[in-house]
Amino acid sequence: MSLPSVKIICEPSQDRKLRDNAWLMTEFETLWKQYFSDIERKNPVMAAFGRPARVRLGSIRLTRKKVSKIIMNGHFRDPSIPNEVVQAILAHEMTHYAQGFGSQLEKKAKFPHRCALVDKELIRRGFGETLSIQKKWTKNHWQHYIEEYKKNTKKYSFSNKKTRKKNHSEPFQGTSEKCGFVTKFANFVRKF
């Protein structure tokens, strides 16, 4: 599939207005209304940008106060990353909520990513094209984007492993969604 509607820029923008949490929550509510309106909000759910990260694109966790908190990679503040990329990752986390991961809804499966559970659900809900744009963009541009960021900006800070394990998080390319299959390329990326 070609991507005529997506402006391909794969370097961090230096001078453009960044997306903020208000923008993110507006996207969240729009996506919910359009694609997830049948899902009960059994407990509150919110989305915010976290720190820029090399690998983790997004995550959802249930806090002690029973709020489902979606944290999106801080790089997604950068408008040079297409909206579809941010939307697809956000919708991925919303699907976790709907399937009972990081939420108080009934769990629909034992493991959140096994056998492309999330992608299948996103496609079923009519999100296939956006998902396809996101996968192509991350495959073709993410690595270069990260390299440029490292060159021009700063180092990354690392979250501790305990937190990472507790969250349902999205590694770059969603490699854990292929029934345990991990690509060679993904292994390479993880070594950064």
For 94, the token pair is 């919303």
- C-beta closer to Zn ion: residue 12 or 125: 125
Min dist. Cβ of residue 39 to Zn ion (A): 16
Which residue's beta carbon is nearest to the bound Zn ion?
170
- C-beta closer to Zn ion: residue 78 or 119: 119
Min dist. Cβ of residue 170 to Zn ion (A): 5
Q: How many residues bind Zn ion (CB under 5 A)?
A: 1
DSSP H helical ranges for the chain: 21-35, 83-98, 117-124, 128-137, 143-152, 161-166, 184-190
- C-beta closer to Zn ion: residue 12 or 62: 62
Is there a contact between 42 and 67 (Cβ–Cβ < 8 Å)? no
* CA separation for the pair 39, 27 (Å, rounded): 17
Binding to Zn ion by CB under 5 A, coded x per residue (else -) over 72-111, reads ----------------------------------------
Restricted to residues 39-78, the positions that interact with Zn ion (CB under 5 A) are: none
Is there a contact between 31 and 90 (Cβ–Cβ < 8 Å)? yes
Buried b (16+ CB within 10 A) or exposed e, 95-121: bbbbbebbbebeeeeeebbeeebbbeb
Give me the half-sphere count of Cα atoms (radius 13 Å) on the Cβ side of residue 176: 13
Interaxial angle between packed helices 117-124 and 128-137, expressed in degrees from 0 to 180 and rounded to the nearest 10? 130
Min dist. Cβ of residue 177 to Zn ion (A): 7
Min dist. Cβ of residue 101 to Zn ion (A): 8
Binding to Zn ion by CB under 5 A, coded x per residue (else -) over 155-174, reads ---------------x----
Min dist. Cβ of residue 88 to Zn ion (A): 11
Is there a contact between 68 and 97 (Cβ–Cβ < 8 Å)? yes
Min dist. Cβ of residue 81 to Zn ion (A): 19
- C-beta closer to Zn ion: residue 80 or 104: 104
Applying CB under 5 A, which residues contact Zn ion? 170
